[in-house]
Structure 1
Amino acid sequence: MPRPGQVKPETDERLSDRIAVGLLTRSFPPELVDRVVAECGREGQRNRLLPPRVVVYFVLAMCLFSGQGYEEVARLLTHGLAWAQRWSGSWQVPTTAAISRARAKLGPEPLKVLFGQVARPLATKSTRGAWYGRWRLVAIDGTVFDVPDSEDNAAYFGRPKTHRTQRCAFPQVRVVALAECGTHAITAAALGPLTMSEPVLARELFVHLGTDDLLLADRGFTGLELWRAAAAGGADLLWRIRSHQVLPVREDLPDGSYLSDIVAARDHRTRTDPETVRVIEYTLHDPGRPEQETPYRLITTVLDHEAAPALELAALYNQRWEIETALDELKTHQRGPAEVLRSRSPGGVEQEVWGHLLVHHAIRTLMHDTAEQTGLDTDRLSFTRSIRLARRQVTAQAAFSP
């Protein structure tokens, strides 16, 4: 029974409606979260303190406040619970054990599905640095996250070895991401154990490419089959290729590039199943070290040298580093430098990674919208300051009662 002067909540969900995380609630509205939870078959998990919607927002807040303990994250969500105690009379911060059980019941699937529904390219035609001619610039790359050294994590994800073949301290989860160069928005991702290579995971992402995309990739993504898979949906490609790969000159072009072909490794002698590509070769010089030269060879599906001159494509390839910056934002500034993820089970690790990807996309959406409204280049805005703003919004909104 409520105390005199208190209002009795109409349903158990009413208190969960109060959980608000500022930018994240605007990016992932409660009705969308509820729909995803229902699609994943988690809506039946009734818990007065931690219904599924609250657990989703808790995971997002946990990733936003990386490094804080479970109970501290819950306190930040409700700003010390001062109003909540006046309202309900009995609501308390869930224990770490209760939160862990709720996370395990929710699983990674709702966070993964939520990311799939909201992670979209952000750039408009006016977004600076996002386009080259008719093409939207996107890049693909991979990274790894250290995860806790539990038996389950070690068995599922595996761990790298040092150059002396010694075991590293932590298992690692591999993540391959597709990002929009002009906004740093990660629009698709695939997760897997360390034994799964980046090219294998990359195949899951090619379905997200469109006919207006120009995909940039480094030498780690190579091979005829992968090239054809990436181009199958109509996207154009601009990839750096390994120096040892044979590229016979089939036709010289006026801009200094030339037409060649690539073949599968098993077909390198007979070349019976070639794929025509255009090759751009150039050398970069370090002004501080004149003797140091770095040769580059790029291959592209854009065969028309007039539509994309070699000099412009060589300069454009530098945009591939934008995805390196996006992954650094995710791992260094958002998660924290050299921090280990907190989940001791494979399902928890995947849930946590999807949470980090969702938070990063929300912050990048905020930055893009701000840049569009002010006419600035998104690169002029600070990711660090933006994430601090997002954190302040959490405690500011939690200070208001229903």
Structure 2
Amino acid sequence: MSDLVSVGVLTRVFPPAMVDEVIEATGRTQVRHRALPARVMAYFAIGMGLYSDGSYEDVLSQLTDGLAWASGWREQYQLPGKSAIFQARERLGSQPLAALFARVARPLGAADTPGTWVAGRRVVAIDGTCLDVADSPVNEEFFGRPGVNKGEKSAFPQARLLAVAECGTHAIFAATIGAYRDAESTMVEHVLDALTPEMLVLADRGFFSYALWRNASDTGADLLWRVSTGRNGPTPTHVEDLADGSWLAHLRAAKDRHGEPMLARVIDYTVDDGRDNPWPTGCSPR
């Protein structure tokens, strides 16, 4: 019953009418009747996340039972084999799933959700990770593999995921996927449109560049980013000391020292991780 309820929740989050709309908008509506129509395959792709340990056949069985049980679904499907499921997934493609994500993904925290708000701002974070993908020549060519030892490569190709998540709920509301070799600091440009003026955006020190900082600031969001004080970090120009120990500084692009500066507030701190020479870092909210 719990599996049926999970599919029922899935159809409420992704109503059949919405699924049909994005399938049509992305040009994936089937021309002729098939045992696995595009709508079912859209739910199947999402269902693989609910039943990640199951085979194709197991996932489809759970899904079709749930869709028949959920309100508004009366059809019963004779389960095809793995090859037919693979071909149906290939026909659907990734565009409808990306469109569905864009339609429904959003921050979920309410006014009283713990960890969601600081000083009236919704706290979100930008971060990246790598995901194993199927070991196939096509995936290896497109995504690439990380090296593990000298002359050796990992067991699976890997995709790089860059996402924006709400800290209080861990809800991901913007994301982009690239090859393993893609830099997170470049991929982040694809998710900046998700930032809004009431947000406080956290990011680790690997993301900072003058151009990215300016582009993120232009969204109206407040930025709280770690930055390195090493030679690859920014060189802020002191403007004014503040009472809490932080200070205001001007940031300029390395190649444009005479251009218009951006004003940032710098918070200096050192993390004592037990080493003899802890590496100092800076944190600069807009």
2:78 aligned partner: 92
* Residue type of the alignment partner of 1:108: S
C-alpha deviation, 1:80, in angstroms: 11
Give 2:284's match in structure 1, choosing from 293, 299, 304.
Answer: 299
Give 2:87's match in structure 1, choosing from 101, 110, 113.
Answer: 101
C-alpha deviation, 1:257, in angstroms: 0.5
Greater shift in the superposed pair: 94-103 or 61-70? 61-70
C-alpha deviation, 1:72, in angstroms: 1.4
Identity over aligned pairs, percent: 45
- Taking only aligned residues, the RMSD between alpha carbons, in angstroms, comes to 2.7
Higher strand share: 2
1:65 aligned partner: 51
2:249 aligned partner: 260
Q: 1:39 to 1:254 in 2, by over 3 A?
A: same
1:248 aligned partner: 237
TM-score, length basis structure 2? 0.88
1:391 aligned partner: none
* Residue type of the alignment partner of 2:92: L
C-alpha deviation, 1:294, in angstroms: 5.8
C-alpha deviation, 1:79, in angstroms: 4.7
Greater shift in the superposed pair: 168-177 or 210-219? 168-177
Structure 1 residue 280 corresponds to structure 2 residue 251: no
C-alpha deviation, 1:285, in angstroms: 4.0
Q: Given that residues 224 and 275 in structure 1 are in contact (C-alpha distance below 8 angstroms), is that contact kept between their aligned partners in structure 2?
A: no
Matched residue count: 276
Q: 1:281 to 1:109 in 2, by over 3 A?
A: same
C-alpha deviation, 1:42, in angstroms: 1.5
Higher helix share: 1
| Distance in structure 2 (CA, Å) of the matches to 1:80 and 1:188 | 28
1:235 aligned partner: 221
2:17 aligned partner: 31
Q: 1:159 to 1:81 in 2, by over 3 A?
A: closer
| Distance in structure 2 (CA, Å) of the matches to 1:165 and 1:247 | 41
The 5-angstrom pairing of residues 61-210 of structure 1 reads 61-79=47-65, 91-162=77-148, 164=150, 166-210=152-196
2:32 aligned partner: 46
| Distance in structure 2 (CA, Å) of the matches to 1:221 and 1:139 | 12
Per-residue CA deviations over 1:176-207 (Å, capped at 9, x if unaligned) read 00001111100000111122211111001111
User: What 5-or-longer segments of structure 1 have no aligned partner?
Assistant: 1-17, 302-402
| Distance in structure 2 (CA, Å) of the matches to 1:154 and 1:44 | 30
Per-residue CA deviations over 1:252-300 (Å, capped at 9, x if unaligned) read 1111001112222334xx45443221100123446xx597856341011
* Residue type of the alignment partner of 2:132: D
* Residue type of the alignment partner of 2:280: P
C-alpha deviation, 1:44, in angstroms: 3.0
Q: 1:39 to 1:81 in 2, by over 3 A?
A: closer
C-alpha deviation, 1:70, in angstroms: 0.9
Per-residue CA deviations over 1:146-184 (Å, capped at 9, x if unaligned) read 112211111111122235253222211111000011111
* Residue type of the alignment partner of 1:146: D
Q: Given that residues 189 and 212 in structure 2 are in contact (C-alpha distance below 8 angstroms), is that contact kept between their aligned partners in structure 1?
A: yes
C-alpha deviation, 1:101, in angstroms: 0.5
* Residue type of the alignment partner of 1:258: W
Q: Given that residues 45 and 51 in structure 1 are in contact (C-alpha distance below 8 angstroms), is that contact kept between their aligned partners in structure 2?
A: no
| Distance in structure 1 (CA, Å) of the matches to 2:167 and 2:68 | 44
The 5-angstrom pairing of residues 324-363 of structure 1 reads none
| Distance in structure 2 (CA, Å) of the matches to 1:295 and 1:94 | 59
